Structure 1
Amino acid sequence: MKKNIAIPLLLICLIVIIMIMLLRSCSQITRETTLVPPVNISLSLIPGTPKEKSLVVLRLFSRKLQQEMLDGSPISSIQIIADENTWTDNITFSLAKGKDKTTEIDKSRITLLRAQKDKKIAFHPRTVFQIFYAIEPSACLIPGQELSARLKLDKYTLKSNKVTVPPVPKNKHDLALRRARIHSLTNSGHLITAAETLIQEKSESHLGYWYQGIALEDNRNYQGALKAYKKALQYYPQSTESKHYEPPVYIISKIRRLQNTKKNGTTN
């Protein structure tokens, strides 16, 4: 009787061992066939005001090539194939809070502003490509939630870092600062208005003059831009706004370039 019971138990143990070995083998095959992307993406959010747009900047680079350069390995490059739909149809932006369900942002709210036009994209150790998107209105970006992106590029699926959507500012200055940051990249006409509000709210902060200079320079008012940049440099030491500053070297370089332009009588 005991022998009759022992035989089925041995068979069951043997079957379990075989199944475990098969599962491990399948798992190893899956890991080996999974394509590890040779390039990476990082996401930055430039938040706007609730009724206006926010900007998202995706940066494409190759951490693999960067590491090879740091290790002293021979310099190589990576070729990635893209098409006209890569930056629109193959991109998804998602919002999530903690472990809650992730929600994709409706594509009708997303506009591609700037992207690579080449179908063959060559990556080198120091290569960084920037892709700009607008999400409108910003009210769909709920404060406290985490924004991330997924991009299908060639035969790879790239996942970005997660960025927490910041709270909406409650005062005029900080709202104007958001508008200035957005319009410095999109609309110099609206940037002038935002810069004027910044100066009105905090006349001894460099920020209003910095953005005023950008707007005036973009409109080819080089004399006015030079004056604004000098004001920005004058007030820079008194400015203490965290995370919203331009290092003085940027302001100084703007001043020097415009001074040389004036001296040489050129506008380029």
Structure 2
Amino acid sequence: MSVLLKFLYRNSRFLLFLLLQAIAIFFTFNKNIYHNSLLENKIITFIGFVDKNITDITTYFNLKKENERLLEENKQYRNLFLGKDQKIKPEFIPMLDSTKYKQKYYYTTANIVSNSITRANNFLIIDKGRAQGVNVEMGVISSEGVVGMIINSTNNYSKVMSILNKNTKINARLKSSKYYGTLSWEGEDSRIMRLSDIPKYVGVKIGDSIETDGKSRTYPEGILIGRVSGKSIDEETGNWNISVELFQDMGNIQKVYIVNKLDRTEIKSLQDSITNAQ
């Protein structure tokens, strides 16, 4: 004990200096938006680099399963476009959306290098960033459904707010009737989300498909999300409280598509002008 006290006494000035430095750094990054953003970008880059190497090793041992999935997806695309004028284009070339709604988007592929599903607010990190034309508010989808939205990008990596995030709000609708509401996650089961704001007079059946309604700047119209797995009437609002079982297993994703709506900037400008005028 005496040795420890002597050590602390001899180095008290240096230890005090380290303590003050730590406090200064904490307040600098915690209170300053610019420094906080800079720190987050460094963290995203570091996590992306480390997790990408781990993911590369894991992916190597899952090549057979991944190839089978890609073959099935390619078959679906061939069936969709066979005999039609639309053709699948290369990355980041304008193409018609793969749904029947004929909306133009940019698509590019990315690999997931980090993912979480057990927290109240979950995020993913993907291996595409600003250098590849990826920016905030772009949608991220998979061959099975909606994955999330990009909220931050570095040169070569991007942070995605997962649909399993309590801040997520997605415009979604019943595929059969086209009535739309708000899809959110309550932070419990990673397989289930909640669709609200659907009037109780709308017919809802167990097994009905839920899809994006195209009213946001983020996701194309008609992207499947899940199926109705339960329903009840919300006593406060009088509307349907609908449980949606996701098509995409959020704990088992390796590859995704980044979606950039061509007129996203123009729509955002108009929406901002309306908000500012109010």
What TM bracket, shorter-length normalisation? under 0.3
Q: Report the structure number with the largest CA radius of gyration.
A: 1
TM-score between both structures, scaled by the size of structure 1: 0.26
- Report the structure, 1 or 2, having the larger strand content: 2
Give the structure with the higher percent helix: 1
